[in-house]
Chain A
Amino acid sequence: MFPRGYSSKSIKLILDLKGKPVSSEECVMAIQNTLNELRNICPQISTAYIFKPDKTVLAQDKDANKSDVASTVDKLCMLIKHARVGGGLEFFRVDSLGYCATVTRLGSVYFAMVHSRALDDKVLCGITRGIVPIVLKLVELIQPELMYATPQIFEDFPSEKAQMDSKERSSSEVVGSEKNVDCTSFSESVVSQLTVENLNGISRLVGSQDNVRVDPAIINQWVTLGGQKEIIKVEVEEIQSGKKIVCNFKPIKDVAFYGKAVIQLSEKIQTTLQTKRGAAVLVRPIIK
């Protein structure tokens, strides 16, 4: 049974799954309710929110100030980008006299919480390693695109980008014959966050191991944004490590993946990028 104090709304949403499809709004509401209930159960928690590395706030508790959360998330995302030098941010904690703030990576999203130091460590661990990850996992099963960001086009951090460029160039890895490709990104700011799927079946046997397959809906978006220019390759970047490859691409043939913001990668490319099925990657189109 569900523990005492657990949000009835959250439970209802979970139980409704078999009856009808749950929309992304309902999923977000379930996460928000969970955060609100956490605050009810643990009054030591003053703020709780979940965000993605692209600065999107997925959910926040009902009392959190939106502008404060947005400005903090902005800085947190900068920190996440800087933390690539250490292999990607897993956990961040700030301790002051009476309060502390923690940020924990939970898959492709981050869970931030401000609480008093009176909060028991076991309770804290139960929240960050138990309750919230379970809720997020359920949401991921229902609405995977919600967790890994629906195909969004967002701007990179301009000042930070210049700083990271030299490092990224040195750490970038190019697969097979793609070395020294003379091509430019048609727009540095056009980036799609996609979910990794395995390239399997006939596609894996027929196609080259150095090719990737991209959701046709995303390709259409790129073509529209690029003014019908020909996209010759894509650059795939692993979010945590910052590792990149440039490779040829084809649209996904399996209709089950249409509009799902998915990229199919071969085992070889997954190994090179140090990523796996279900993880999020950034994909940039490149034109002639």
Chain B
Amino acid sequence: MTKKKLEESASIVVECCPEETITFDAVHEILKDICSFVGVQGYIIKDEDTATINLEDSEKTVPYAMLVSQAFELAKELSQVSCLGEGDTLLLDCADLKVLCVKVNDVTVSIFMEKNVDHTKILNKLLSYTERLQF
């Protein structure tokens, strides 16, 4: 399967903050690299001030954003009622979609991929980058 070039994909900056933190920018750069993986459909990256959505199919922006928002809300609920401590990694496995959500400092990253993609490779890649950047 040929992967669409991400340059052609929809890239929407929901809200821009004039002073973007280094963390956000650094993670954003890593995600651009991860997006070149076959089967990765795009990502949503968000911190307190800024959110960037980069998805192959721009029509799915809203439902995907709502899905990850609900997933984080659920993780928060689970951590409160089960005294889990704040969840730092979330995996959503749907029939046709896989979503990996990771919290790096205050930045939340959601990576959307096809069902058959090995999410552990992406997670390891993301964590190795972030460790190198000494977050």
Given contacts A82-B70, A83-B67, A96-B87, contact A101 B82 (CB under 8 A): yes
Knowing A78-B70, A83-B67, A93-B90, the reply to whether A88 touches B95 (Cβ < 8 A) is yes
A79 and B88 form a contact (CB under 8 A): no
- Interchain CA distance A95-B120 in the complex, whole Å: 13
Q: Give 21 A-B contacts (CB < 8 Å), ordered by A residue.
A: A65-B81, A68-B81, A72-B74, A76-B74, A79-B67, A82-B67, A85-B60, A85-B94, A86-B67, A86-B99, A87-B94, A92-B71, A92-B91, A93-B91, A93-B93, A94-B74, A94-B89, A96-B84, A97-B85, A98-B84, A101-B78
B117 to chain A minimum Cβ distance, whole angstroms, is: 13
Which of A72, A92, A97, A100 is packed against the most chain B CB atoms within 10 Å? A92
Task: State the A residues within 8 Å of B (CB).
Answer: 46-47, 65, 68, 71-72, 75-76, 78-79, 82-83, 85-101, 114, 163, 167, 240-241
**Tally of A-B residue pairs with Cβ under 8 A?**
106
Please determine whether A85 and B75 come into contact, CB atoms closer than 8 angstroms. no
- B64 interfacial contact with A, CB 8 Å: yes
Question: For the complex, is B92 an interface residue (Cβ under 8 Å from A)?
Answer: yes
Chain B, interface residues (CB within 8 Å), range? 20 to 34
| Contact A72 to B81, CB < 8 A, known contacts A82-B66, A96-B87 | yes
> Closest approach, in angstroms, between the C-beta of A85 and any C-beta of chain B?
4
Please classify the interface of chain A as helix (H, G, I), strand (E, B), loop, or mixed, using the class held by over half of its residues: mixed
Q: Shortest Cβ distance from B108 into chain A, in angstroms?
A: 13
B20 within 8 A of A: no
B97 at interface by CB-CB < 8 Å: yes
What residues of chain B lie closer than 8 Å to A96, measured between beta carbons? 79, 84-88
Say how far A159's CB is from chain B's closest CB, in angstroms: 11
A94 near B67 (CB under 8 angstroms)? Answer: no
Decide if A85 touches B97 in the complex (CB within 8 Å): yes
* Distance of A40 from chain B, by nearest CB (Å): 19
Please give me the residue from chain B that is nearest to A95 by CB atom. B89
